[in-house]
Amino acid sequence: MKTYQGSCHCGAVRFEITTDFPELTQCDCSICRKKNALMVKVHESQFTLLAGEDYLTEYQFHTKTARHFFCKTCGIYPFHRKRVTPDNLGINVFCLDGLDPDAIPVRRAKGAAML
């Protein structure tokens, strides 16, 4: 397990996670396809919001269970609280400092089929 720091584009929202990157997820639901993010799943105990709570805005749709967070200033999606496992977060790995995700296996999630 290693700790990584990340942020939105403007740096207003900053966070850190601890993970060993077992896999990344690319979801095919309507919002994930449009934001085109690769995500790593971490338990809420492995996530710390370091700064920018006031800069976060939330978007929910469909069942309104998943909670997608975006920076109000730059619009970047750094993370979301997951629908099926709400004690976990999906972290946009492209927001992590110094991470090259190319060597990490990617699982294709069938989010569009979830009703």
Per-residue confidence (pLDDT) for residue 106, from 0 to 100: 81
Q: What are the DSSP E strand ranges found in the chain?
A: 2-7, 14-19, 24-27, 39-43, 47-51, 56-59, 67-71, 79-81, 88-92, 106-109
The parts of the chain modelled with pLDDT lower than 70 are 109-115
Sheet of 14-19: strand order equals: 2-7, 14-19, 47-51
Q: What pLDDT does 110 receive?
A: 64
Q: Sort 69 into a burial class: Cβ within 10 Å, 0-12 / 13-18 / 19+.
A: buried
**The token pair that represents 20 in the structure block:** 């060993």
Residue among 11, 58, 47 at smallest CA distance from 39: 47
Quick: pLDDT tens for 86-102: 899 999 999 999 998 88
The confidence score (pLDDT) of residue 66 equals 77
- pTM here is 0.87
